Amino acid sequence: MMNKEDVEALLLRGPFHQWLGLKVISVGAGEIELLATWRPEWVVNVAGGYTHGGILATLIDLTADWALVSETGKGVPTVDLRVDYHRAAMQGDLKCVGKVIKSGKTLSVSEAQIFDGEGRLLASGRGVYMTPAAK
């Protein structure tokens, strides 16, 4: 298992991840918690101030993905992704919690949940990821 600092250094190599304002809060055995810093560019509905669902789907995918990366130390490409939206995301930072459900030899499964600053569940999902071959 990788430590928090190593996971964050690897995560923030990606310019898109930097743009999302990601910070690793914690890393455990097959688990990760991230913070995504809110940006005005996330807004899809200016009158309502809602965050675009694509941002939430992105956060589901990368949080579930990085729960696996914390175990493997390597990128894990997405094979399939399901996202459920539970409520509109308003302005504010987002807490992203990911957990490995099954680590497999070729495919693995992880889940993620996205919460607002008040702890309300905004979106949840599950991804299937290609697991890198052991060397």
Q: pLDDT 10s digit of each residue in the chain, 135 long? A: 788 999 999 999 999 999 999 999 999 989 999 999 999 999 998 888 899 999 999 999 999 999 998 888 888 899 999 999 999 999 999 999 999 999 999 999 999 999 999 999 999 999 999 997 655
Q: What predicted TM-score, i.e. pTM, was given to this entire model? A: 0.93
Domain chopping of the chain, boundaries:
4-130
* CATH match of 4-130 with 3.90.180.10: no
What is residue 97's predicted lDDT score, i.e. its pLDDT?
Answer: 98
CB 84 within 8 A of CB 72: no
So what's the pLDDT on residue 58? Answer: 97
